Amino acid sequence: MTHTTTQDFDVLIVGSGLAGLTAALQLAPTHRVAVITKRQLQDGSSGWAQGGIAAVLAEDDSFDAHVQDTLTAGAGLCDLASTRYVVENAPDTIAWLQQLGVPFSQEDGCLHLTREGGHSARRIVHATDATGAAVQQTLIAHVRQMPNITLLEQHTLVDLITSRKLGLPGPQRCLGLYALDGATDEVITFRAPHTILATGGAGKVYLYTTNPDTATGDGIAAAWRAGCRVANLEFIQFHPTCLYHPNEKSFLISEAVRGEGGQLKLPDGTRFMPQHDAREELAPRDIVARAIDFEMKKHGLDCVHLDISHQSPQFLQEHFPNILARCAELGIDITQEPIPVVPAAHYTCGGVLTDLGGRTDIANLYAIGETACTGLHGANRLASNSLLECMVFARAAAKHIQETPITDRPALPMWDDSRVTDADEAVVISHNWDELRRFMWDYVGIVRTNKRLERAAHRIALLQAEIQEFYAHFHITRDLLELRNLVQVADLIVKSAQLRRESRGLHFSRDYPEVAAPAAPTILVPPVQR
């Protein structure tokens, strides 16, 4: 059927994590905003972030030190201007969150600052070990009170609508989007002078991930299809310590556990990090993840152990109440025994290429948060810089939109699915999904080789052909859209990895173990659509 309704707004925001909600709150006083999210407001990755938000607030700390720590973790690939911009805007961002009433942990009437791997000082503002959830809940409460913000849950992005697709003259610009309404099963046309992609990362492209089910790379794939460049997608951060348990698929054991003295051990109780790096457990994540991967393969282990039982029960209750409680539910007493952990895909360092205002290659289209590649993370994200990046660039994009005069709104075509039928075999989608995640884990994981990447590329090409056929002939569903996006992003990850003929940060290739000079980002340019 063909639908005839178009919904009009001043700004469309796709995604309801910290980046999307921050942008919505900044824009609400001046613009009519729609927040489009494919499940509930709280279902993105932001609410799962445990560690905290990095900001220079202590007297013995400095912007230069925070910049330097970021550059060191980023293995020579961070963009200096972007890094400095984020670091210098951090204290202001924390003050804004405090004004909104985020319940940050205090000590003696001041913000408690913790330390994490890769940081040279205590500069992590946190709410115990559930910072993301505390910030997310506070933002949701404020967003719900804003009359200018329309919240559209259970709406999945289908595609962006651009002037090129409509054959309009002038530079390429974004005019709106199509989204599938889960309640009515209809595709709705949304029109707006500005669109912000804040859809998070693509962790679900891997078998083991700390991300929620929503992390399917929707914004990255849609922006690429629309004609945006993407950058540095080979740099997928694997969190070294995800809980290994049959009843828990993605519970993260925070970096801060190692920051507060947690030790990594083999099953026989031997520590192994001293053999891998002088910084031991406080080495950057990529080094720790490779060390664990190496020890697991060497000894044929399903997991390694993270031991913090030398700390007092009172200390653990105070610092890690959620980790303590969740492990206890699964029968693991962390006051007495170590936590079984494995590495898992955690953070997408690359994404849609943007400038310091969150702008993409297409006019009126912005990308913020994990969807974007701002240059901040380089080849490896420094802990607790990501929640910060979400908000700094959300505020920058909002400011740019507020300063931009609203342009004309051309009529947009409705979505037409009159020639498609209902799919008779949903099993095809779930099978392809499983296959993709498994071979990405095996072939494009923590350690890569040319041969593994070739195998992955071959399988992706087969899947793409199958999905394209499905997409053309059948009524779309959220599962199909997510699979289409995941396969697209998997393709971009593999292409990026094949172009990088060196090992740097999160990208480690056995065929090219050395670092090459000069350091340069991997930028993919989409083919021009006729």
The CATH number given to whatever domain includes residue 496 is: 1.20.58.100
Q: Which residues have a Cβ under 8 Å from the Cβ of 469 and sit 6 or more positions away?
A: none
- Looking at the DSSP bridge assignments, the partners of residue 33 are 11, 149
Looking at residue 257, its pLDDT comes to 94
Q: What pLDDT digit, counting tens, does each position of 34-91 carry? A: 999 999 988 888 777 777 899 999 999 999 999 999 999 999 999 999 999 999 999 9
Task: Pick the closest to residue 36 from 173, 187, 201 (CA basis).
Answer: 187
Question: How far from 337 is each of 253, 262, 305, 327, CA to CA, in Å?
Answer: 14, 12, 9, 11
> Are 442 and 396 found together in one domain?
no
Dihedral, 393, 398, 400, 406 alpha carbons, nearest 10? 150
Residue 119 · residue 72 · CB < 8 Å: no
What DSSP string describes 399-446? Answer: HHHHTSPP------PPPB-TT-B--S-THHHHHHHHHHHHHHHHHSSS
> Are 124 and 216 found together in one domain?
yes
- The rounded distance, in Å, linking the Cα atoms of 505 and 519 is 11
> Are 39 and 145 found together in one domain?
yes
What is the residue-averaged pLDDT of the chain?
93
Mean pLDDT of 502-525: 95
Q: Tell the residue number behind the tokens 């720790």, with chain if given.
A: 288
Looking at residue 1, its pLDDT comes to 44
Domain presence at residue 127? yes
Write the CATH number for 356: 3.50.50.60
Q: Which comes out higher in pLDDT, residue 117 or 309?
A: 309
Q: Which comes out higher in pLDDT, residue 233 or 48?
A: 233
Confidence band, pLDDT 50/70/90 cuts, at residue 212:
confident
> Are 146 and 21 found together in one domain?
yes
Residue 261 · residue 310 · CB < 8 Å: yes
SS (H, E, C) 51-65: CCEECCCCCCCCHHH
- The rounded distance, in Å, linking the Cα atoms of 258 and 261 is 5
- The rounded distance, in Å, linking the Cα atoms of 46 and 113 is 20
Mean pLDDT of 191-218: 94
Q: Could you tell me the residue range of the domain that residue 117 belongs to?
A: 6-234+349-402
Mean pLDDT of 474-479: 89
Residue 486 · residue 436 · CB < 8 Å: yes
Looking at residue 4, its pLDDT comes to 55
> Are 208 and 268 found together in one domain?
no
285 is catalytic: yes
> Are 364 and 431 found together in one domain?
no
Phi, psi for residue 238 in degrees, rounded to 5: -95, 120
Looking at residue 2, its pLDDT comes to 47
Q: Which residues have a Cβ under 8 Å from the Cβ of 421 and sit 6 or more positions away?
A: 473, 474, 475
Domain presence at residue 435? yes
Residue 5 clears pLDDT 80, i.e. is over it: no
> Are 358 and 329 found together in one domain?
no
> Are 299 and 387 found together in one domain?
no
Looking at residue 276, its pLDDT comes to 96
Dihedral, 209, 215, 221, 226 alpha carbons, nearest 10? -160
Question: How far from 382 is each of 192, 217, 500, CA to CA, in Å?
Answer: 35, 21, 21
Confidence band, pLDDT 50/70/90 cuts, at residue 116:
confident
Q: Tell the residue number behind the tokens 């804004």, with chain if given.
A: 96
Looking at residue 424, its pLDDT comes to 65
Domain presence at residue 367? yes
Q: What pLDDT digit, counting tens, does each position of 242-257 carry? A: 999 988 877 889 888 9
Domain presence at residue 530? no
Q: Helix H segments across 264-320?
A: 273-276, 285-299, 313-319
Instruction: Give the count of beta carbons closer than 10 Å to the beta carbon of residue 60.
Output: 7
- The rounded distance, in Å, linking the Cα atoms of 30 and 148 is 8
- The rounded distance, in Å, linking the Cα atoms of 205 and 246 is 20
Total domains, the chain: 3
**Least confident interval from 214-228, 247-261, 316-330:** 247-261
Mean pLDDT of 156-174: 94
Write the CATH number for 284: 3.90.700.10
Confidence band, pLDDT 50/70/90 cuts, at residue 469:
confident
Please tell me whether the peptide bond between 518 and the residue prior to it is cis, using omega within 30 degrees of 0: yes
Instruction: Give me the amino acid identity at 511.
Output: D
Domain presence at residue 56? yes
Domain presence at residue 521? no
Residue 530 clears pLDDT 60, i.e. is over it: no
> Are 367 and 335 found together in one domain?
no
Given 191, 258, 285, 459, which residue is catalytic? 285
Q: Please state whether beta strands 149-152 and 124-125 pair in parallel, antiparallel, or not at all (unpaired).
A: unpaired
Dihedral, 199, 205, 206, 210 alpha carbons, nearest 10? 10
> Are 393 and 432 found together in one domain?
no
Q: Which of 344, 366, 385 is the last residue in one of the domains?
A: 344
Q: What pLDDT digit, counting tens, does each position of 402-433 carry? A: 999 877 889 999 998 877 777 666 778 888 99
Domain presence at residue 46? yes
> Are 157 and 282 found together in one domain?
no
Residue 447 clears pLDDT 60, i.e. is over it: yes
Q: Is the dihedral of CA 23, 29, 31, 37 positive or negative?
A: positive
Residue 65 · residue 55 · CB < 8 Å: no
Task: Pick the closest to residue 353 from 466, 485, 229 (CA basis).
Answer: 229
> Are 53 and 113 found together in one domain?
yes
Domain presence at residue 518? no
Mean pLDDT of 284-288: 83
Residue 113 · residue 57 · CB < 8 Å: yes
**Least confident interval from 127-136, 231-240, 305-314:** 127-136
Q: What pLDDT digit, counting tens, does each position of 117-163 carry? A: 789 999 999 988 788 889 999 999 999 999 999 999 999 999 999 99
